[in-house]
Structure 1
């Protein structure tokens, strides 16, 4: 009797679990130049395009409260500034917490499959939003719960970035991740630009008129609910799952024992946390310090709806530029320069605030006086946004580089470094997004009676934090003894 043994490779292939739930690619070698040029690049680009679209909608829904909260009073709701800032902050907290499980979902279910699920989940916050804003008797606690569901959109970022990280070779990750993130970040700017027009709250500098018939916030919710259905269908028809993007939650959670995960999380609070926190708070900051509602309809001073979108727009546009600079000069150097710029321009904004008068009683005379300082305030604030975008792009270039080096140091294959980097993206993104919750809370500061004093105190704390981040970046990643990232 003769026994035969099948080749090990064939046995492994035979024993591998068969995937039967959609389009899977099991042979993916982006670091192979020939494979990348002939096969990998077009597939990766196609997945990147639709990933950007889905993530863009996620960010729009995530930040829908940032500008709509400023219109709630016009619809008959009687909320205090502290309550409005909390409504703006809650989605950021929930979105940050969801980023870890959303990251783990990519290897568990596949990038394409999870994009479909995460896009479909956006129907929950949009349709609940439409229901709540049409009923002036909706209690504040219900608004808080509905705002929390908008956090689904914040989780999309982590899964999208983790998925795209698997598609691209190391030399292309900075630009690819920068584009993916920028497309998502632009969702913040566009919702802040278009929502006032859609709901009838304002036009666009007189070039585009707001829809007539008063303010109807539910219209924006219906638009984004429809787009969520489009994104779900697009992921189904045009995206792919990578069979090579496999990892168990236990393997992924090992990343929390890696010191660099937490160091980068601290830095990402400074860059992305600032971007999303400032984006969420900017409409209310302008409204409270530079505008009063009388005389109707546009009031006196600077109408917040005209400028709310600019900060997020600038930060989104500069993010891929930060990734490109990091690919060319190194992520740590660009990140240090970004924090240096944030320190300088935050101090400049703080100086501008010292020139303003407090406007707690909504006095038109004070609003007019403060208006003369608005161009200076806005210019310095947009410079901060530009630096946050550059820093966002450069930090996300640093993450895969750091974990590739860590894999090399411990004798692990490069693919293991990619897996760990994708897991780290979820944890770092989750911690960093908490800044989006803390910043609006700091601006509201219910323990400070004067809103302007609260704003000054918040910017002082932010400046100190950026100094710490710059020192950490230099000390850990740029000293002579550090390995270049």
Structure 2
């Protein structure tokens, strides 16, 4: 991989950068909690509406799909117009959907409302564009990693929704979330500083043709498809998995999933620091190897082997108990948190002037993992009848990522050696 071209975009961190980062992270956490609302609501809805695993996967995927698709056009717009202003419009647009939630009572109604909730998923692309305008290149990994901790907003959903149901009932979930979103919108409008004018003076949005024609952007998108798409898919799927595989009640399943989500989100800042210190590519490669080992063990379904001995049969039980399973999931979550930060550090190294359009494209592909993978998980479970089919799917996705990264690195090393040879007259440049 060639070295990034030095840029004068942000040689020094600007005043008000920390205030912008704190408010952006808070707003992103609020939006992410709305985007993943079905992660908690989905389980009772599955029983209430008698959904199959595939239908359940489609329900979970609805908000993720619309949020993924809209990230690309909004990312391009964010390179041309104020990402802060676009973000305010997005938060206001979600509030009516939350107010309509108590009036929906059918599967198709929840699907359409989920697509509307998906507007909140745009917040990441707008936030990356907003935050990256304030910090020097040497601090982009840490800044974007801290901003990415807003993923922990899903913890709000895992805690708030059960409490709202217990004390107020289902009908109050939407209005409570609408009130919270309105409060965050007002705080962000009043307290967040406008983007520095010089940043937009140097920026230029890439067209869709330019984005789609850049193989490196597709490669980064594939990496993000795993580190973010599979994280998103797992936080949606894990509650059901714990209930099916380990006979947990919904409260216990939510608690274990919350542990996975919170730890994976909180280490993202540390992952950004590592990416600044050791390079995003090195962090990505380490993340993939760690996840590959964990997914190998998670993919193996519970198995009973009977060995016919001379005098008696010997029965062997092969499977992960809940604690080993949770440990492996925890390790994957931490690794994915590092990976999500390092991918965007690499993107800024190569496309510092196009964080809206390129970041939006990569984020869109990554978020598509969050909507396609739950559907594939459901299809695999319905077709195979194996509860670990979801991890088999993730193992295949990760293998594709690693093969792609290996050959890309080989090609980059070859180009670097060729350039060195030409520079030292070992090879004539014709």
Report the counterpart of residue 230 of structure 1 in structure 2.
183
Report the counterpart of residue 167 of structure 1 in structure 2.
134
Residues 1:198 and 2:176 are matched in the alignment: no
Cα distance in 1 between the residues matched to 2:328 and 2:59: 26
Checking the alignment, whether the CA contact within 8 Å between 2:11 and 2:137 is kept in structure 1 is no
Report the counterpart of residue 10 of structure 2 in structure 1.
31
Find 1:188's aligned residue among 125, 134, 154: 154
Unaligned runs of 5+ in 2: 1-7, 305-316, 417-430
Change (3 A) 1:434 1:171: same
Cα distance in 2 between the residues matched to 1:233 and 1:469: 41
Cα distance in 2 between the residues matched to 1:436 and 1:381: 17
Find 1:56's aligned residue among 10, 26, 29: 29
Checking the alignment, whether the CA contact within 8 Å between 1:255 and 1:424 is kept in structure 2 is yes
More helix by share: 2
Deviation, 1:457, is 3.1
Checking the alignment, whether the CA contact within 8 Å between 1:277 and 1:440 is kept in structure 2 is yes
Residues 1:145 and 2:112 are matched in the alignment: yes
Report the counterpart of residue 316 of structure 1 in structure 2.
265
Checking the alignment, whether the CA contact within 8 Å between 2:38 and 2:60 is kept in structure 1 is yes
Deviations 1:178-205 (A, max 9, x none): 111112x1012331233222222xxxxx
Q: Which has the higher contact order (CA 8 A, sep 6+)?
A: 2
Deviation, 1:56, is 0.8
Cα distance in 2 between the residues matched to 1:250 and 1:156: 20
Deviation, 1:424, is 0.6
Deviation, 1:166, is 1.8
Unaligned runs of 5+ in 1: 1-28, 133-137, 201-210, 293-297, 357-368, 404-417
- Alignment map for 1:21-420 (pairs within 5 Å): 31-33=10-12, 36=13, 40=14, 42-72=15-45, 76-132=48-104, 138-183=105-150, 185-200=151-166, 211=167, 216-239=169-192, 240-243=194-197, 244-245=199-200, 251=207, 254-291=210-247, 303-351=252-300, 353-355=301-303, 373-403=321-351, 418-420=352-354
Query: What's the RMSD between the two structures over aligned residues?
Result: 2.8
Report the counterpart of residue 428 of structure 1 in structure 2.
362
Larger mean Cα displacement after TM superposition, 119-128 or 158-167: 119-128
SS of the residue 2:133 aligns to: helix
Cα distance in 1 between the residues matched to 2:146 and 2:58: 30
Deviations 1:17-43 (A, max 9, x none): xxxxxxxxxxxx87344xx4xxx1x41
Deviation, 1:107, is 3.5
Change (3 A) 1:456 1:372: closer
Checking the alignment, whether the CA contact within 8 Å between 2:275 and 2:283 is kept in structure 1 is yes
Cα distance in 1 between the residues matched to 2:384 and 2:10: 56
Find 2:401's aligned residue among 452, 469, 478: 469
Checking the alignment, whether the CA contact within 8 Å between 1:102 and 1:155 is kept in structure 2 is yes
- Give the TM-score normalised by the residue count of structure 2: 0.84
Deviation, 1:160, is 0.9
- Give the TM-score normalised by the residue count of structure 1: 0.75
Checking the alignment, whether the CA contact within 8 Å between 1:58 and 1:154 is kept in structure 2 is yes
SS of the residue 2:356 aligns to: helix
Deviation, 1:377, is 1.5
Change (3 A) 1:146 1:109: same
Count of equivalent residues: 395
Checking the alignment, whether the CA contact within 8 Å between 1:117 and 1:232 is kept in structure 2 is no
Change (3 A) 1:372 1:398: closer
Cα distance in 1 between the residues matched to 2:27 and 2:209: 26
Deviation, 1:105, is 3.1
